[in-house]
Amino acid sequence: MFLQNYWYVAAESFEVNRQPTPRIILGEPVVLYRTQDGTTVALEDRCCHQRAPLHRGKLEGDAIRCGYHGLVFDQHGVCTEIPEQERIPSSARVRAYASAEKHGWVWVWMGDSALADESLIPDFHLNIDAEWTSFQGIIEMDGASMLMVDNLLDLSHLPFLHAANIGSATDTDPDLSVEKGEGFVRVTRIARGIKSSKWQNDLGIQGNVTQEKVITFRPPCHIWIAIDTTEEAGPESGGNGQMMRQMILNSMTPVSETSCRYHWGFARDFSRGNAGVTKYMKDATDIAFNEDKEMIDAQQKIIDLDPAAPIFNLDGDEGGVAARRLMARLLAEQAGA
């Protein structure tokens, strides 16, 4: 069961063009394309005749023609032509979803289109902010979206899963606090005087660091991670007091109950004009996030063997538990509507 009346990331902007692009979102087939003036369109990717996927067809102007029997649907999902038949039944239509393009991503509102409000699109503007340097990526996850929520709200896995790159082996005793508000969960994680990680060393930070991470979750699947890193200065630390600020933008769009499409962005406000730093950080991020993918895909396989197998929670799980409780409340409200 999924929350319906919310915006979900369907694609990066560059992925949507004049070639029909298929997506599965919340278990529903959706086809994306652009009209001749560049507007994004999101239709049910299932012809109402014989349920053929519309993305196997072709665009004709702003409409799409089914590649099986030639029915034509306009950008609103209404059938406008049936070859070899003049009569077009009123039921000959496919669902049209509200869509929008913002922050470098194409969004689809999977619920009642009349309720779609673009002001409710989550603020991921740092994806395209001229004052920051950013890059993005997409990972197909064979694990549930909420497993990624757990992963991102509890970063105690960094010194273990990511020990060879972004994690610090001494980052095991942070100060943690969790704020639970109306429609959000926020975890603040402050690690003081920890050994700098390999990727920080490669970027010129050699001394111990204090790192503050503020992680904010908003339903159904959006997470912001603000990271402030301060290098300790002085001969004992071996550092010179450098500071780095980063923001990791995360949106996990469910494909099914046990898989998702992970859209992420990484923005920084240091070394902004340095293409070498950008390439290094993009490569390091790809490695780290694919380590997450391998673990979560494996975790999902184990969960599927026995979904009722017992688990217990650690202190670091408080944020993830709060997020799941918030989601359960919203789903219950939706079911009772």
Closest CA to 30 of 98, 104, 103: 98
**194-222 per-position pLDDT tens digit:** 999 999 999 888 889 999 999 999 999 99
State yes or no: pLDDT of 240 exceeds 90.
Answer: no
Q: Report the pLDDT value the prediction gives residue 281, as an integer from 0 to 100.
A: 94
Positions of CATH 2.102.10.10 in the chain: 7-120
Report the residue count for the chain.
Answer: 337
CA 187 to chain centre: 18
Confidence of residue 239 (pLDDT cuts 50, 70, 90): low
Signed CA dihedral, 124, 125, 131, 135: sign only: positive
Quote the pLDDT of residue 273.
86
Residue 235 has pLDDT above 80, yes or no: no
The percentage of the chain sitting over the pLDDT mark of 90, rounded to a whole number, equals: 92
Evaluate if residue 253 carries a pLDDT over 80: yes
pLDDT reported for residue 67: 98
96 forms bridges with which residues in the sheet? 43
User: Measured between alpha carbons, how far is 42 from 77 in angstroms, rounded to an integer?
Assistant: 9
CATH architecture, domain defined by 125-336: Alpha-Beta Complex (3.90)
Let me know if 119 is exposed, middle or buried by CB neighbors in 10 A (0-12, 13-18, 19+).
exposed
Q: In sequence order, what E strands does 183-276 have?
A: 184-194, 209-218, 222-231, 243-256, 259-268
Task: Determine the pLDDT at residue 157.
Answer: 97
Taking the C-alpha atoms of residue 180 and residue 101, their distance in angstroms, rounded to an integer, is: 30
Where are any strands of DSSP class E within 96-221?
A: 96-102, 105-109, 133-141, 175-181, 184-194, 209-218
CATH class of the domain at 7-120: mainly beta
- Average pLDDT value over all residues in the chain: 95
Q: Please calculate the CA angle 141-260-265 and round it to the nearest 5 degrees.
A: 80
Please state whether beta strands 133-141 and 28-34 pair in parallel, antiparallel, or not at all (unpaired). Answer: unpaired
Please check the confidence at residue 96 and state whether its pLDDT lies above 70: yes
What confidence tens digit (pLDDT) does each residue in 38-83 have? Answer: 999 999 999 999 999 999 999 999 999 999 999 999 999 999 999 9
pLDDT digits (tens, 9 = 90+) for 125-169: 999 999 999 999 999 999 999 999 999 999 999 999 999 999 999
| Per-residue pLDDT, 234 | 65
- Whether 246 contacts 268, CB under 8 Å: yes
Overall average pLDDT of the 24-32 stretch? 98
Q: Using the CB atoms, write b or e for 248-259: b if 16+ within 10 Å.
A: bbbbbbbbeebb
**Across 314-337, average pLDDT:** 95
Q: CA-based angle 250:99:259, to the nearest 5? A: 45
The pTM of this model reads 0.95
CATH 3.90.380.10, the chain: domain bounds: 125-336
CA distance 223 to 150: 11
Both structure tokens of 186: 């926020």
